[in-house]
Amino acid sequence: MKIMQQQKQATSTNNININKVYMFSGIVEEMATVVAIKNDKENVDFTLTCSFTGELKIDQSVAHNGVCLTVVAIDGNSYTVTAMKETLDRSNLGLLKVGDRVNVERSMLMNGRLDGHIVQGHVDGTAECVDMRDADGSTYYTFRYAFDRTMAERGYFTVDKGSVTVNGVSLTVCNPTENSFTVAIIPYTHDNTNFCDIKVGSRVNIEFDILGKYIARLQQLN
Spell out the domain ranges in the chain. Answer: 12-106, 125-221
pLDDT tops 50 at residue 203: yes
Q: Are 41 and 85 in contact (CB under 8 A)?
A: no
- pTM score: 0.84
Predicted local confidence at residue 10, as pLDDT: 33
CATH 2.40.30.20 fits 125-221, yes or no: yes
Band of the pLDDT at 164, cuts 50, 70, 90?
very high
Predicted local confidence at residue 4, as pLDDT: 33
CATH for the 12-106 domain, from 3.40.50.2300, 1.10.10.10, 3.90.1150.10, 2.40.30.20 = 2.40.30.20
| Domains 12-106 and 125-221 are alike in CATH topology | yes
The torsion angles phi and psi of 217, rounded to 5 degrees, stand at: -65, -40
Distance CA 149, CA 128 (A): 19
Predicted local confidence at residue 135, as pLDDT: 86
Torsion sign, CA atoms 79, 85, 87, 91: positive
Predicted local confidence at residue 17, as pLDDT: 40
Distance CA 19, CA 176 (A): 34
Band of the pLDDT at 18, cuts 50, 70, 90?
very low
> Which value, to the nearest 10 degrees, does the dihedral of the CA atoms of residues 162, 163, 167, 169 take?
120
DSSP symbol at 51: T
93-130 pLDDT, tens digit each: 999 999 999 999 998 776 666 666 778 888 999 999 99
82-94 pLDDT, tens digit each: 999 999 999 999 9
Distance CA 166, CA 190 (A): 12
82 CB neighbour count, 10 Å cutoff: 17
